[in-house]
Amino acid sequence: MLSPEELEQFHTQGFLFLKDALTATQLQRLTEQFDLWKEQSRSQTAPYGETIDGRPRFDIEPGHCAERPALRRIASPIEISDVYLEVMRDNRALDAVVDIFGPNIKFENAKINSKLPGAATQVKFHQDFLFEAHTNDDMITVLFFLDDVTPENGPLQVIPGTHKGRLYDHWHDGIFTGAVSDEVMEAMTPLAESCFGPAGSACLMHTRLLHGSGPNLSQGPRTLFICEYLAEDSYPLHDNHIPSQYQYEVVRGEPTGRVRCSEYEMAFPEMPTGASFFEQQAKKQ
Ligand SMILES: O=C(O)CCC(=O)C(=O)O
């Protein structure tokens, strides 16, 4: 489904913007469900719910209150919502993933990241692969836009081409901060490109691409449904940091019974104990 130019863009830049990655019906149903979760969060004062590894499923930003809800993360929404599960299993971006790493594709994990108006949520620069060592790195993060993403509402920022470069340390002075060092961040920030567009679009990102995002400075929300997929012959080397009953389900093609290994070296990540990686990223370097 991708043109040769789009494939080339993904392979050279490490990311691709895809318009209409969701149908209008998918977008509407995903948004309606998220709005329900947001309303329910108003009565909560601390992270709540439970994932299969016993951590809170719903994460709220410090300062969250009934009048100004700041629900910032839902881990594995596919386990508590049929529509999120259906979309994870079948969407237009998945056809693009097949073009990139197919024909056989597995699912790894899913989450929602939301920046409600006035919430200070920021994502420090990191590479997803440093949270998820696998035998090979044919892995992709698909970020579906459930709202219009604009330059003001904290869009994803990527550093083009960094998926071909080194794996940066995410441990600093014995602490897993889930982010690159301040020095790397300073050097890379001027090279960042923002990924924005209308609701229903998606950004596809290579697992090694350096990326982050700033706070939402607008009056509207910025909510992403994020799914990670990988080549079927890539196998995990440690626990999934967002485990689910659907992890490693083959969503396109078929199981091959083969494993493929690529050469790289990195430190294992630390498994989060809190509701999300925001807690790890809040640690000082
Ligand atoms: O929510 C965002 O802007 C970025 C998401 C991200 O990088 C992550 O959750 O790993």
Atom 1 of ligand 1 has which residue's CA nearest to it?
A: 113
Q: Which CATH number covers residue 140?
A: 2.60.120.620
Mean pLDDT of 54-68: 91
Distance 45 CA to ligand 1 centre (A): 23
Q: How confident is the model at residue 284 (pLDDT cuts 50, 70, 90)?
A: low
Distance 123 CA to ligand 1 centre (A): 6
156 lines ligand 1 (CB under 6 A): yes
Atom of ligand 1 nearest to the CA of 111: 9
73 lines ligand 1 (CB under 6 A): no
Contact of 132 with 93, CB cutoff 8 Å:
no
* Residues in a beta bridge with 228: 109, 141
pLDDT tens across 172-210, in order?
Answer: 999 999 999 999 999 999 999 999 999 999 999 999 999
Domain, as residue range, for 123: 4-281
The DSSP code sequence of the chain is ---HHHHHHHHHHSEEEETT-S-HHHHHHHHHHHHHHHHHHTT-SS-BS--TTSS-SEEE-TT--SSS--EEEEE-GGGT-HHHHHHHHS-HHHHHHHHHH-SSEEEEEEEEEEE-TT----EEEE-GGGG--BSS--EEEEEEESS-B-TTS--EEE-TTGGGSPPPP-EETTEE-SS--HHHHHHHGGG-EEE-B-TT-EEEEETT--EEE----SSS-EEEEEEEEEETT--BSS--SS--TTTT-EEES---S---------PPPPPP-SSSHHHHHTS--
127 lines ligand 1 (CB under 6 A): no
Which of 123, 203, 216, 225 for mutating ligand 1's site (highest number of atoms within 8 Å of CB)? 123
Distance 258 CA to ligand 1 centre (A): 31
Distance 114 CA to ligand 1 centre (A): 9
Domain tally for the chain? 1
% of the chain with per-residue pLDDT over 90: 88
Mean pLDDT of 84-95: 98
Closest CA to 109 of 199, 217, 226: 226
Is residue 31 pLDDT above 70, yes or no?
yes
Q: How far apart are CA 71 and CA 235, in angstroms?
A: 32
pLDDT tens across 97-129, in order?
Answer: 999 999 999 999 999 999 988 777 789 999 999
> What pLDDT was estimated at residue 116?
84
123 lines ligand 1 (CB under 6 A): yes
Is residue 158 pLDDT above 80, yes or no?
yes
Contact of 74 with 37, CB cutoff 8 Å:
yes
Atom 9 of ligand 1 has which residue's CA nearest to it?
A: 113
pLDDT tens across 204-223, in order?
Answer: 999 999 999 988 999 999 99
CB-based burial label for 57 (10 Å; 0-12, 13-18, 19+)? buried
